[in-house]
Structure 1
């Protein structure tokens, strides 16, 4: 998922799914007309956080068209860059440093690459990785998941070189 898509997600994009529990379903801004809607299953940790956010104050729940990621005034970020600037500020906070002491180099784009690598390490093809990223070409799936392939190669080399 690109930062520009994260910035535009609304509560209508977060929905129940009979097979995956909860999903984020959206049409990516880039290539959306060609790839259509992407549906990504939401892991349990994120689902807990989103469910708590969606519950609001217990009386008023956010409208379906309300942004999930919002600024201090409760509004959608006007641009991906505005959201990225806030992300940089969050990483400087003491709470973030305490929760993720080694997380200072985390970027929105880096999370996209990590997602692609995790998919590849789980055995998904370059085409499947590209589909989940909203990319048209299989080559982009391969590009984003190259770290996973390098790790597999490194492991094979290590095992062969150190075999008794």
Structure 2
């Protein structure tokens, strides 16, 4: 018996013995190469999976707020304080939403984090009608792999990270029993040697050619160990004179919400002394037009394009990044006798393991030299 389901706006075509179903207004086939009779095709089209695919265009036009609290769309609306539905994304990022029932920490997330999350959630809009209770890890792998093919692997991992953050809060509030993102591996295989330490001749070469807006970022990363999100936020007011270090920076990092005391190496102190301070509480890192960077991503993009241009010209080697200068800062301290815990504190990181992570190549270097010295002594 054929189940009668009214589905308007479809073209059903038979070609070379198989069935194809297209939207009448154009677009990709909803069913490709179905093998069977027409009645079997109609039965297939009456199944929930196809109905869900058929309804996708309608789902894409619906705001997240229109979905129930037990759906993915409802959860994302709650988690993003309604920002997912705001048409002016720039305004939403500058002044995050604050719906009464929204996630209370959304407004406290870094702007770059909210940008990444909203991009990921926007990609997921076609899935907003899925019930939270029906979301399983195998489905997320299918979704992630499809995203990696359609976009790119790093974005697919970003999407899973955004979902995991929302699911974590959903579990805490009884909206979900478990977080199905936990334990998922990455679609993007990170290069363990990325963000390498810069070679001794590379920073002087880059500084000799860099515009001031890039120079400031390079110096703050190399001689104070600041991460990108801190580079764009640090102010002149956060610097202070210190009897031991000369100058230091005291600030609370967004990454871990920790209060940090970060000494400035002499090279940075000398460099900053050449810059005219506009306002005492103003940002140190400014564009060449005198305005602060819009966000970390804008600054990182500018620096990255500059470095890749130098790489193509053969001025510096491959693999140089702004974060690599933070690694160079950590390596300098490690070679100067700092422990892993001390390196972590100098970087403003919570975990001693991070100090070890940043300087693992220095440890290997020390081991090689030690082994060579032993052989040398026996000759």
TM-score for both structures, normalised by structure 1: 0.80
**Which ranges of structure 1 fall in alignment gaps of 5 or more residues?**
none
Q: Distance in 2 between matches of 1:76 and 1:48?
A: 22
Tell me if 1:13 matches 2:235: no
CA shift digits 1:9-30 (9 cap, x unpaired): 1111222222221112221111
1:91 aligned residue (285, 298, 307): 307
Q: 1:103 to 1:50 in 2, by over 3 A?
A: farther
CA shift digits 1:72-126 (9 cap, x unpaired): 33222122121111112433677x999x933664312111111112212111111
Q: 1:19 to 1:160 in 2, by over 3 A?
A: closer
Tell me if 1:137 matches 2:359: no
Tell me if 1:109 matches 2:323: yes
Q: Distance in 2 between matches of 1:104 and 1:66?
A: 34
Q: Distance in 2 between matches of 1:102 and 1:93?
A: 9
Q: 1:157 to 1:132 in 2, by over 3 A?
A: same
Q: Distance in 2 between matches of 1:114 and 1:102?
A: 15
Moved over 4 A (4+): none
Q: Name which structure has the greater RCO, CA cutoff 8 Å, separation 6+.
A: 1
Q: Distance in 2 between matches of 1:45 and 1:141?
A: 22
Tell me if structure 2 keeps the 8 A contact 1:24–1:41. Answer: yes
Tell me if structure 2 keeps the 8 A contact 1:9–1:69. Answer: yes
Count residues with an aligned counterpart.
153
Tell me if structure 1 keeps the 8 A contact 2:334–2:343. Answer: yes
Tell me if structure 1 keeps the 8 A contact 2:263–2:346. Answer: no
Q: Which residue of 2 aligns with 1:41?
A: 263
Aligned to 2:273, what secondary structure does the other structure show? helix
Tell me if structure 2 keeps the 8 A contact 1:11–1:62. Answer: no
1:62 aligned residue (253, 278, 284): 278
Q: Which residue of 1 aligns with 2:293?
A: 77
Tell me if 1:156 matches 2:370: yes
Q: Distance in 1 between matches of 2:256 and 2:368?
A: 34
Tell me if structure 2 keeps the 8 A contact 1:126–1:139. Answer: yes
Q: Distance in 2 between matches of 1:64 and 1:159?
A: 52
Aligned to 1:162, what secondary structure does the other structure show? helix
TM-score for both structures, normalised by structure 2: 0.37
**Which ranges of structure 2 fall in alignment gaps of 5 or more residues?**
1-225
Tell me if structure 2 keeps the 8 A contact 1:3–1:108. Answer: yes
Q: 1:19 to 1:97 in 2, by over 3 A?
A: farther
Tell me if structure 2 keeps the 8 A contact 1:91–1:103. Answer: no
The CA deviation at 1:63 is 0.9
Tell me if structure 2 keeps the 8 A contact 1:23–1:39. Answer: yes
Mean alpha-carbon deviation: is it higher for 1-10 or for 67-76?
A: 67-76
